[in-house]
Amino acid sequence: MKAKNQRLVLVAAAAFALLAAVLLAMWGLKDRASYFFTPADIAAGKATDGQAMRLGGMVERGSIKREPDGVTIRFIITDGKARTPVTYRGIVPDLFREGSGAVAEGHLQNRTFVADTILAKHDERYMPPELGNLAAEHKAGKTLEK
């Protein structure tokens, strides 16, 4: 085999290996990739049932209800434009409370978000970039209500 043909075989093998690596990475991430949505996005119909996603916003005051089984809770996440009911079964983080920011991971089922994981905000400064300045507006609204 000539040197020119050997280089061509090496380039083809490298291209095949690169393509195989990209396809394996895409296949591995297919079920794990989740996109961030706000309640307004869900109300606008941008999310579909069964799609893995993250839902972020503020936990609406007075919306947390515990089911009789003691481990299932229902609450509402709002972004000030829309509201999305959430169902979660499990132990919530210590920082999870009404009026604070939260991010839920799960899927949408019949317009209700079924959460697998609840992430409460770490401190007052954290807010998903998609929600902008909602925490400050929520706090300002709370001050005006008093």
Annotated binding residues for heme: 122, 126
Residue numbers in the known binding site are 122, 126
Bridge partners of 56?
Answer: 103
All residues at 6 or more sequence positions from 133 whose CB lies less than 8 Å from its CB, including other chains? 127
E strands, the chain, where? 35-37, 52-59, 65-66, 72-78, 83-89, 101-109, 112-120
